[in-house]
């Protein structure tokens, strides 16, 4: 039974890889292979590669300092953090809000089996995220450090324990969110605020990572002794990777006991949470009959959907806050920004404006509200299809929301840049034009991807919001396009001059935009009408 439910769960997660929604049939073997290859390249190549570099940086110096265990402790903590980051937001919606909970509960399936299959789905997501750190960490140690039966076996246990601990952490946080949601009004915004605190911590650590690693390597032995003296469990945790059987057994027992407690708590509360409707009644709301145009109504509907859904805001709109944070950082750390530009570009004037515009575009790529907007229509799609509005009116409302949500905070960054980085007016204006054009073209691209890869029959909205291949493609293309803009400027653009480079970039981006716009107004509208 667990196998059947897990298969259903996994087939939903990887549905876009296996099934072509547009042709309404299974993908060809080649297409499935390419989809999975893309996924593997992203997870193993990009993320795994990044953490392999970190492992190589840390492993040698820490082994030389005689604190190999500290290497495993640090990499383990990073893996736990990253794994929990990747799966915690799935847990609440995947476990408690799945649309097929009622159906499954009405069938002769034990509640523990339903819960177990859902947890296995969450576990696999957590394993994917933590594994891109813990597996390279073990492999690098086996290559650089000691290769023996005990280090191989304990290394595997180390990877497994981290993934299980991630599951426990995600479940505890998911359970807390579920309990809070039953009591609170405006829970979308409260969930977002709580999650943002989590994000804030994450990005603070990331921001400080470079200097922390240097400092850490230089004083590894001293830190190691301090940690061993004051946080002995962390020392034991690190010893697992070095092949210490006793430490491994202690942690297997501890994580196992924690899992038993977590299972007991979830078993007692799962059915109650799933079957209890939250008290969402609004008191004293006044009826308003004010009218607006059809286009404004569609725009307003899209914005309401975004602001009423914590998952949607957190996953697709995080970049909005990152942009605002970046604007603040430009103002507060103006000297640092200028000095980095000077080091990288040899100038802090016009070239700095070009590079910073590229960074703003890169950060804005994290806002992909438009990509899952078609999929989120789901079973409500009929409403838009029977209303007397053209497909283009519907699509343009979605594009406008994406543009608004990126253009406003990006404009803040540009204003901050104008105050902090001195440049010629022409360069600044062209930089602004390029940035805003990028926001528009990225919105068009997001709509293109959303139409090409819709998932309309999801049972958990997180599938549409986070786990679709379209979302990954949009993110990657946004990053690559903006990174290429900066890199090409550093390599060739400086010789051309900032103004010439910006003019060329604007022309190219406008060309891409024109092609996308033409496709959306023609083929895109037909695809939407036939969904």
Partner 1 sequence: MLNIQHLTKTYGEKKAVDDLSLYIAPGEIFGFIGHNGAGKTTTLKSVVGILRFDGGSITIDGSSIVDDPIACKAKVAYIPDNPDLYEFMSGMKYLNFIADVYGVSKADREARIGKYADVFALTDDLSQPIASYSHGMKQKLAIIAAWIHNPKLIIMDEPFVGLDPKAAHILKGMMREVCDNGGAIFFSTHVLEVAEKLCDKVAIIKAGRLIRCGTMDEVKGDDSLEEVFLELEGEEE
Which residues are CB-contacts of 198 (< 8 A; sequence separation ≥ 6)? 85, 88
The number of beta carbons lying within 10 Å of the beta carbon of residue 147 is 11
When the beta carbons of 229 and 388 are compared against partner 1, the nearer one is 388
Select the span of 11-19, 124-132, 381-389, 481-489 touching partner 1 (CB under 8 A): 381-389
Site for partner 1 in 402-431 (CB under 8 A): none
> By CB under 8 A, which span of 26-34, 66-74, 287-295, 416-424 interacts with partner 1?
287-295
* Least spacing, CB of residue 460 vs partner 1, in Å: 14
Between vectors from CA 45 to CA 39 and to CA 47, what angle results, nearest 5°?
Answer: 90
With CB under 8 A as the contact rule, the residue among 3, 108, 277, 491 that binds partner 1 is 277
**Residue placing its CB nearer to partner 1 in the complex, 3 or 281:** 281
Q: Per-residue string for binding with partner 1, 292-311, x by CB under 8 A?
A: xxx-xxx-xx--xx--xx--
Q: Assess 214 for contact with partner 1 (CB under 8 A).
A: no
Three-state SS sequence of 495-519: HHCHHHHHHHHHHHHHHHHHHHHHH
- Cβ proximity to partner 1: between 269 and 295 the closer is 295
- Segment lying near partner 1 (by CB under 8 A), choices 126-134, 195-203, 288-296, 450-458: 288-296
Round to whole Å and give the CA distance between 450 and 437: 20
The number of angstroms, rounded, from the C-alpha of 190 to the middle of its chain's C-alpha atoms is: 19
Residue 51 or 528 with smaller CB distance to partner 1: 528
Q: What whole-number distance in Å separates Cα of residue 501 and Cα of residue 421?
A: 18
For residue 275, state whether it binds partner 1 (rule: CB under 8 A): no
Task: Work out which of 289, 335, 343, 491 binds partner 1, going by CB under 8 A.
Answer: 289
Collect contacts of 189-195 with beta carbons under 8 A, ≥24 apart.
189/310, 191/310, 191/314, 192/310, 192/313, 192/314, 195/89, 195/310, 195/314
The answer to whether 134 and 82 have CB atoms below 8 angstroms apart is no
- Rank residues 260 and 387 by Cβ distance to partner 1 and give the closer one: 387
Q: Which one among 40, 193, 387, 426 touches partner 1, defined by CB under 8 A?
A: 387
Which position among 53, 383, 514, 515 is part of the footprint of partner 1 (CB under 8 A)?
Answer: 383
Least spacing, CB of residue 373 vs partner 1, in Å: 13
Residues in CB range of 221: below 8 A, 6 or more apart: 65, 66, 67
The reply to whether 382 sits near partner 1 by the rule CB under 8 A is yes
Instruction: Confirm or reject binding of residue 219 to partner 1 (CB under 8 A).
Output: no
Smallest gap, in angstroms, from Cβ of residue 293 to partner 1? 7
* Helix 187-218, helix 49-64: angle, nearest 10: 40
Contact 126, 87 (CB under 8 A): yes
Binding site for partner 1 (CB under 8 A): 277, 280-282, 285-294, 296-298, 300-301, 304-305, 308-309, 378-380, 382-383, 385-390, 529-530
């Amino acid at each position: 039974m667990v196998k059947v439910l897990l298969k259903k769960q996994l087939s939903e997660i990887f549905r876009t890889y296996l099934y072509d929604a547009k042709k309404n049939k299974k993908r060809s073997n080649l297409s499935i292979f390419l989809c999975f290859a893309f996924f593997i390249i992203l997870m193993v190549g990009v993320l795994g590669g990044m953490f392999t570099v970190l492992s190589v940086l840390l492993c040698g110096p820490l082994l030389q300092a005689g604190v190999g265990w500290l290497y495993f402790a640090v990499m383990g903590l990073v893996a736990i953090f990253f794994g929990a980051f990747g799966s915690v937001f799935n847990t609440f919606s995947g476990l408690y809000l799945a649309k097929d909970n009622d159906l499954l509960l009405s069938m002769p399936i034990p509640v523990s089996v339903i819960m177990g299959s859902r947890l296995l789905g969450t576990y696999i997501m957590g394993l994917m995220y933590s594994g891109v750190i813990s597996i390279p960490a073990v492999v690098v140690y086996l290559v650089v450090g000691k290769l023996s039966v005990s280090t191989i076996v304990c290394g595997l246990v180390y990877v497994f324990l981290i993934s299980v601990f991630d599951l426990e952490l995600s479940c505890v946080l998911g359970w807390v969110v579920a309990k809070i949601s039953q009591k609170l009004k405006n829970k979308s915004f409260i969930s977002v605020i709580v999650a943002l605190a989590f994000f804030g911590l994450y990005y603070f650590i990331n921001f400080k990572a470079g200097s922390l690693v240097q400092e850490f390597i230089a004083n590894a032995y001293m830190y190691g002794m301090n940690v061993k003296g004051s946080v002995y469990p962390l020392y034991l945790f690190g010893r697992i990777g070095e092949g210490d059987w006793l430490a491994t057994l202690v942690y297997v027992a501890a994580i196992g006991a924690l899992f038993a407690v977590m299972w007991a708590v979830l078993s007692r509360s799962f059915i109650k949470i799933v079957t209890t409707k939250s008290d969402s009644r609004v008191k004293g709301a006044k009826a308003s009959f004010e009218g607006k145009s059809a286009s404004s109504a569609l725009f307003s509907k899209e914005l309401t959907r975004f602001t009423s859904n914590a998952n949607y805001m957190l996953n697709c709109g995080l970049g909005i806050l990152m942009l605002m944070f970046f604007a603040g950082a430009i103002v507060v750390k103006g000297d640092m920004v200028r000095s980095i530009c000077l080091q990288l570009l040899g100038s802090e004037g016009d070239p700095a404006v070009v590079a910073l515009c590229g960074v703003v575009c890169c950060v804005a790529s994290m806002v992909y509200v438009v990509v899952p907007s078609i999929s989120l229509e789901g079973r409500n799609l009929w409403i838009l299809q029977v209303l007397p509005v053209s497909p283009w009116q519907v699509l343009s409302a979605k594009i406008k929301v994406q543009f608004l949500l990126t253009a406003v905070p990006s404009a803040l960054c540009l204003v901050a840049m104008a105050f902090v980085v001195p440049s010629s007016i022409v360069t600044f204006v062209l930089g602004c034009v390029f940035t805003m054009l990028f926001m528009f073209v990225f919105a068009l691209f997001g709509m293109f991807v959303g139409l090409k890869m819709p998932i309309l029959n999801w049972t958990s909205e997180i599938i549409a919001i986070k786990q679709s291949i379209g979302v990954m493609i949009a993110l990657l293309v946004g990053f690559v396009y903006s990174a290429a803009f900066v890199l090409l400027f550093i390599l060739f653009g400086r010789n051309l001059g900032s103004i010439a480079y910006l003019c060329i970039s604007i022309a190219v981006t406008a060309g891409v935009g024109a092609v996308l716009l033409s496709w959306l107004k023609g083929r895109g509208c037909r695809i939407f009408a036939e969904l």
